[in-house]
């Protein structure tokens, strides 16, 4: 090696990185052993948040194009899959934190006020990049979610909030899905008939089931009527807008139709990568929901019913936040609008041909 050769520690800037753990308890004259673990885990979280931001922004740059090249879809799927793998690590790191007992935590907890995870600007950026809206967030002691951030971090987070999100880009991409309307083939009319046949058949099974009481039959039949009303939103743009206004749906009518179509015919070659994308978006939503709930359970284990260091209601606040933080909830609702494969309308041969990949010498 020469003086110009790159050295491992220099490349990773380990001197700076490994000198970034300073115990507040030691500054007070009574170093708490487990505070080192607490710092290292949370620093690791921030490094992984940085990587997640890196991956999501790269995916958004692809979707920001007027036309998304099919060759880029493999890149999109691979990078979103990487995000889900990182999320698994985030959840596992909570188990590492839980090797610290509540008494161990109490040795240094008082030194942390008023700092808290609410001040993680990077995680707020992640949420905004995905598309979490301000109206979907809980207030923090009556104040907006940015209230505990520094002025610099607040400007950074709010700037991201004003820009198009991954949700916005995916919605526009779905709206450009071909095959929804094709010549004389009216897919949605055929699909509506298939849906109605399936629901009416299921309804008849309930109505003639000798093992159900009259009260049970009445209750289930009412549910069938509600299901039919939900289905109407797929076929009627005006009813879809009513569902959006009520907060039960978020995607535009055409984008939601496209998501249903992709899910129904996901076996077709041209729709396999789009379907993987939809699955990964749900995985990411579910991953952060799992992490939030797991975090809430750890907080309950560590501090019981005490308030958090940031002044929140502790675990209760975190649990409520987890319930309201799904960005792609519409995709989870797709299962409601599906029918078995044998009930799907048969696609015209011209559409099937256009969705196949072929090589001809």
Tens digits of residue pLDDT in 244-271: 998 889 999 999 999 999 999 999 999 9
Cis peptide, bond prior to residue 114, ω within 30 of zero: yes
Beta bridge partners of 1: none
- Token pair belonging to 61: 């740059």
* Complete DSSP assignment for 67-132: S--HHHHHHHHHHHHHHHHHHHHHHHHHHHHTTS-HHHHHTTGGGTTT--GGG-HHHHHHHHHHT-
For 165, phi then psi, to 5°, come to: -100, 175
Place 307 in a pLDDT band, splitting at 50, 70 and 90: low
* Complete DSSP assignment for 9-50: HHHTTHHHHTT----HHHHTT---TTHHHHHHHHHHHHHHHH
List CB contacts of 334: < 8 A, sequence separation 6 or more: 259, 260, 263, 278
- Token pair belonging to 274: 């789009």
Q: For residue 54, what is the DSSP state?
A: H
The answer to whether 107 touches 25, Cβ cutoff 8 Å, is yes
The answer to whether 325 touches 288, Cβ cutoff 8 Å, is yes
Q: What size, in residues, is the chain?
A: 361
Q: What percent of the chain has pLDDT over 70?
A: 93
For 133, phi then psi, to 5°, come to: -90, 155
| pLDDT at position 353 over 70 | yes
Place 231 in a pLDDT band, splitting at 50, 70 and 90: confident
The answer to whether 221 touches 203, Cβ cutoff 8 Å, is yes
pTM, full prediction? 0.89
| pLDDT at position 311 over 70 | no
The answer to whether 220 touches 206, Cβ cutoff 8 Å, is yes
pLDDT, mean of residues 144-159: 94
Query: Domain residues of the chain, as ranges?
Result: 30-354
In CATH terms, the fold of domain 30-354 is Methane Monooxygenase Hydroxylase; Chain G, domain 1 (1.20.58)
Tens digits of residue pLDDT in 34-85: 999 999 999 999 999 999 999 999 999 999 998 999 889 999 999 999 999 9
| Calpha distance 53→120 (Å, rounded) | 13
Tens digits of residue pLDDT in 170-179: 999 999 988 7
List CB contacts of 74: < 8 A, sequence separation 6 or more: 273
| pLDDT at position 228 over 90 | no
- Token pair belonging to 283: 């995985």
């Amino acid at each position: 090696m020469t003086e110009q050769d790159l050295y491992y520690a220099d490349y990773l800037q380990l001197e700076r990185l490994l000198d970034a753990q300073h115990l507040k308890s030691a500054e007070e004259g009574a170093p708490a052993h487990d505070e080192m673990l607490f710092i290292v885990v949370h620093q690791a979280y921030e490094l992984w948040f940085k990587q997640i931001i890196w991956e999501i922004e790269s995916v958004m740059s692809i979707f920001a194009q007027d036309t998304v090249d099919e060759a880029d879809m493999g890149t999109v799927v691979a990078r979103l899959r990487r995000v889900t793998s990182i999320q698994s690590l985030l959840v596992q790191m909570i188990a590492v934190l839980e090797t610290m007992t509540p008494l161990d935590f109490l040795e240094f907890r008082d030194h942390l006020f008023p700092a808290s995870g609410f001040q993680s600007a990077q995680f707020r950026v992640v949420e905004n990049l995905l598309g979490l809206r301000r109206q979907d967030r809980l207030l923090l002691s009556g104040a907006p979610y940015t209230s505990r951030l520094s002025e610099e971090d607040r400007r950074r987070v709010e700037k991201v909030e004003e820009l198009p999100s991954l949700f916005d880009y995916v919605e526009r991409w779905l709206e450009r899905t071909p095959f929804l309307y094709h010549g004389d083939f009216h897919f949605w009319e055929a699909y509506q008939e298939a849906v109605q046949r399936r629901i009416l058949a299921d309804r008849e099974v309930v109505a003639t089931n000798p093992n159900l009481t009259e009260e049970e039959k009445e209750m289930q039949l009412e549910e069938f009527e509600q299901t039919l009303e939900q289905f109407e939103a797929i076929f009627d743009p005006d009813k879809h807008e009513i569902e959006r206004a009520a907060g039960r749906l978020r995607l535009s009518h055409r984008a939601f139709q496209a998501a249903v179509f992709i899910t129904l015919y996901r076996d077709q070659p041209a729709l396999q990568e789009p379907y993987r994308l939809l699955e990964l978006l749900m995985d990411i939503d579910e991953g952060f929901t799992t992490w939030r709930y797991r975090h809430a359970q750890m907080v309950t284990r560590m501090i019981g019913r005490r308030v958090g260091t940031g002044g929140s209601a502790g675990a209760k606040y975190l649990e409520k936040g987890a319930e309201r933080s799904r960005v792609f909830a519409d995709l989870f609702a797709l299962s409601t609008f599906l029918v078995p494969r044998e009930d799907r309308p048969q696609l015209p041969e011209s559409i099937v041909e256009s969705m196949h990949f072929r090589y001809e010498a």
